């Protein structure tokens, strides 16, 4: 019996700019659990994830993994179905989809509150890291302007 999915566009509400990778939007354990689920070709139960984490050097209790999987399900990142007495989890989003969602949410948050400084810093950062990307940025802006004009 499959429980209703929470949706494929998860809402992530925390941003930790100094953290690494997925930990910017998820806690350390949540990120490790998502990696374990993604790395599995099949649906996983709590014990499967706990075993994978232990193999990777993260010793964690069964109940902690169970709570973390449940939290990720509530956030819409995982689907689950009950088999016997155990839930089995599968990802609702790929690594790439989650990365896109994270990027969109961070940028939307910055633009809604700090549009001008965020845009100015972004252009400056692109200029410093790879000046050739400024041409790409300019072409993307021009393309978007043309699309908007054609839509009017």
**3-state SS assignment for residue 88:** strand
Distance of alpha carbon 48 from alpha carbon 102, whole angstroms:
27
Record: fold of 21-92 = Arc Repressor Mutant, subunit A (1.10.10)
Joined tokens for residue 128: 């410093």
pLDDT of the residue at 18: 65
Q: Domain boundaries in the chain?
A: 21-92, 96-151
Given this model, what pLDDT does residue 7 score?
A: 47
- Asked if residue 89 lies in contact with residue 37, where contact means CB atoms within 8 angstroms, the answer is yes
* Phi, psi angle pair for 129, to nearest 5°: -80, -40
pLDDT by 10-residue block (mean), the chain, 152 residues: 52 66 80 95 97 96 97 94 96 91 84 90 89 90 92 76
CA distance 122 to 83: 48
């Amino acid at each position: 019996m499959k429980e209703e999915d929470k949706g494929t566009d998860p809402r992530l509400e925390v941003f930790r700019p100094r953290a690494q990778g997925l930990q910017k939007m998820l806690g350390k354990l949540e990120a490790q659990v998502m990696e374990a689920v993604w790395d599995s070709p099949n649906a996983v139960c709590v014990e499967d994830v706990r075993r994978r984490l232990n193999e990777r050097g993260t010793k964690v209790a069964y109940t902690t993994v169970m709570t973390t999987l449940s939290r990720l399900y509530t956030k819409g990142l995982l689907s689950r179905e009950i088999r016997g007495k155990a839930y089995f989890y599968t990802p609702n989003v790929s690594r790439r989809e989650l990365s896109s969602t994270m990027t969109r949410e961070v940028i939307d948050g910055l633009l809604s509150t700090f549009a001008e400084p965020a845009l100015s810093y972004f252009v400056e950062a692109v200029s410093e890291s790879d000046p050739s990307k400024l041409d790409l940025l300019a072409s993307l802006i021009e393309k978007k302007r043309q699309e908007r004009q054609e839509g009017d």
